[in-house]
Copies of this chain bind each other. A is one copy, B any other.
Amino acid sequence: MESSEKHLNILLFSGDYDKCLAALIVANGAMEMGMTATIFCAFWGLFVVRDVDKISMEDKNLYEKMFSSMTPTNAERLPLSKMNFAGIGKSMLLNMMDDNHTPHLQDFLEGARKKGVRFCACKLSLEIMGFKPEELLEGIEVIDVKAYLEDAADANIQLFV
């Protein structure tokens, strides 16, 4: 199968519910077609791969503690990029997704992990935000921007989301 050799690379910068949903739907689709896929989570995209049960306040400085306590703890709690877009709210979007029997972000995330999407976290972003590798979901690789670039340069599709 021709597409079995093809590779998708997504730099997930955004922490918006709808954008993360789009990224994961594309990655799931790619895996189902026999492509391989890497999602490199940087900046706000790190919130998608944090493990809510492992967040620790130990060894964090004041800013890191404040930041950690204020920010969304897992994927389902992310805000919409267009919270006020024409008045639509996240609960309304979720209701519309439910009516259509569309899975939620958390489901697409679990699907992508089961299908073998390679999830990576940006080392520099982790350091800036004061997140520890232990606070991430199991199996998330911590890599630097050069390792991201190597993966992206060999991909057939690269997206910045």
Contacts and interface: CB of A to CB of B under 8 A. Distances in A.
Given A15-B82, A70-B88, A71-B88, A153 B153 contact: no
Number of copies: 3
Contacts of A160: 22, 159-161
Nearest to A87: B70
B149 A128 contact: no
A43 B148 CA distance: 27
Given A22-B43, A92-B63, A160-B159, A153 B86 contact: no
A153 to B, nearest CB: 4
A157 B158 contact: yes
Interface in A61-119: 61, 63-64, 66-67, 70-72, 79, 82, 85-88, 92-93, 95-97, 99-100, 102
